[in-house]
Chains A and B, each alone.
Chain A
């Protein structure tokens, strides 16, 4: 300030500092009117700017849109702030108006849902409160059945919590358990240490005299027994080879079992052919027998007709005799008069 006091000369790009007041005093009325008009224009411009900005802020805050109240009940309102969005399919449809503590100790999140978007919320809608590791908390709405009745005004719904940060302590505890288990396993006297010691013993035995057989059978003596068994098996196999050669001669040789069997089969085929011929003859005989039987059946039918004729003749003779007996006058009595048939 002392510099301005010491050097009170005006800046070069500005007029004489004493000029404005003097000019204002000395300006003509037309200039003053023009100046006042410009100043009023500026004032109007500023007022328009300020009022427009205020109206835009109010519009952005949702002051002019009709809303529907929705109450979300949560166990914990951590991360929920007034003004945050309620989103549906990623689109904001409402904003948190107030967060309060209910008498039962739960958090009541009062959400104003825009009336034009309220139809996305149905009675079956599900609300989630998701807290990410990075970024803010998000309240989301999911509606599976859009044909359900719309959510009524002032509806209360329990919000499902999905807290990624809350999982971190659990993950850390699990990791700690895992590390402790690993320490137990790899520590002195642990399972891994014992396994490695066993592996070393195994390797030593593999490199020893018995090799893998010692490992498999447990001791060197057993391995030797196994080797002796193998030798004996080899001897047995040699004997079996000889036996097989003899068997081949006996079975498949010139005078072996197989050629004789083949001759027998040929003979059997011949016998079977003869048997087939005999059976054909028997078949012809049976056909003849069937023809005889059929003739006998026909004769039996003729005998029936003959018997009927005889019976008819007999009835006629009986009738004739009865007629004669009735007409016979000389008989003493009826018993004498009766004619006896032969």
Chain B
């Protein structure tokens, strides 16, 4: 009897967890859709909103741009040298630059830029939003007739995406230049071959995947912290409720035994 009650409570708990998971993802997608619509709506760019957006864009991008670029250049130099020397020792030097471009520009830089933006900008922004939610400032806004999503969430998401795309683009350019200099030195003689190699790597399909990957990385790191901030408290409350219910069932089961 006790085992039946335990299984029932376990099943209920699993069902609730799945329901929560689906609801969370649905809210995330819903918020993404709202942000997209708001981004494309001209009404979101009123003078006051523009000022807030400009501030977020500047604060999220400008301070980290230089450091991330320097870091990216250093990593590119080290990786390029390693790959070049290794490829040369194995007699595969003709593939070294291609490997560098594929690994660095196509794979590492978009991911690193997105993670960097997440750590430096969007997660703190999410914490900021959480604090506003906790202090009841967002509810105050709603009472005053101001939509918090338009006022507080949209600028942060757009700034995060802008920051991620800018970092990724600049880092790609810097990585390409540094890889060229590390391979050919400060000479223009290898530019034609390098450009041709770059064209071979960036076929239309690869370019499309690269662009989409960068965009979706940036969207994910911008959107998820905001969604967690907006809906996290509800989930947190529900999680607490679930934990309490499970603990209660456990205690009842033990006492029945």
Contact = CB atoms under 8 A, between A and B. Distances in A.
A24 B126 CA distance: 18
Nearest to B203: A83
Nearest to A92: B196
A8 B94 CA distance: 53
Interface stretch (A46-54, A155-163, A181-189, A201-209): A46-54
Interface residues of B, number: 54
B68 interface: no
Interface string B174-195: 0000000000000000000101
Contact of B131 (A8, A52, A62, A85): A8
B230 to A, nearest CB: 11
Given A1-B228, A57-B202, A135-B95, A49 B173 contact: yes
Categorize the interface residue count of chain A: 35 or more
A92 B162 CA distance: 38
Contact of A4 (B53, B57, B130, B200): B130
A216 interface: no
A83 B200 contact: yes
Contact of B55 (A10, A20, A61, A82): A20
B199 A61 contact: yes
B128 A18 contact: yes
Report, nearest first, the 10 A-B pairs whose CB atoms are least far apart.
A17-B128, A60-B199, A39-B54, A8-B131, A49-B169, A1-B232, A36-B54, A46-B166, A32-B51, A39-B57
Interface of B: 48, 50-59, 61-62, 92, 94-95, 124-132, 134-135, 137, 151-152, 162, 165-166, 169-170, 172-173, 193, 195-196, 198-200, 202-204, 207, 228-229, 232-233, 235-236, 239
Given A35-B55, A39-B54, A92-B196, 11 more contacts: A11-B124, A14-B124, A18-B131, A21-B151, A25-B48, A35-B51, A46-B162, A49-B169, A60-B202, A95-B200, A134-B92
Interface of A: 1-2, 4-5, 8-11, 14, 17-18, 20-21, 23-25, 27, 32, 35-36, 38-40, 42-43, 45-46, 49-50, 52-53, 56-57, 59-62, 82-85, 92, 95, 134-135
